[in-house]
């Protein structure tokens, strides 16, 4: 059974050591027949949690309008 693989690269540099490790992981996942996607967190705007509780109390999701909703959806 194939699994969708999402790799989050938190490396500050594209092509750096951590990013190359992500690429090697992706190669292994693809060789096993799994579809893969890589997201560079450095390219996203993600704010810190403010602890407002909107996501828990109202069920509306996060009150901040950043790229985290897109990442969580994947």
Q: Is the pLDDT of residue 3 over 80?
A: yes
The model's pTM is 0.77
How wide is the angle at C-alpha 43 spanned by C-alphas 15 and 38, nearest 5°?
A: 60
User: What is the structure's pLDDT at 12?
Assistant: 86
Other beta carbons within 10 angstroms of residue 3's beta carbon come to 11
The token pair that represents 63 in the structure block: 């009150």
Q: Is the pLDDT of residue 2 over 90?
A: no
| Contacts with 10 (C-beta within 8 Å, 6 or more apart), sequence order | 18, 41, 42
Question: What is the total residue count of the chain?
Answer: 74
Q: Give 39-49 pLDDT, tens digit per residue.
A: 999 999 999 99
């Amino acid at each position: 059974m194939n699994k969708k693989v999402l790799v989050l690269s938190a490396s500050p540099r594209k092509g750096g050591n951590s990013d190359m490790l992500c690429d090697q992981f992706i190669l292994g996942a693809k060789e096993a027949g799994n579809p893969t996607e890589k997201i560079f967190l450095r390219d996203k705007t993600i704010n810190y949690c403010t602890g407002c509780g909107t996501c828990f109390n109202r069920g509306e999701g996060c009150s901040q309008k950043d790229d985290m909703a897109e990442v969580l959806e994947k």
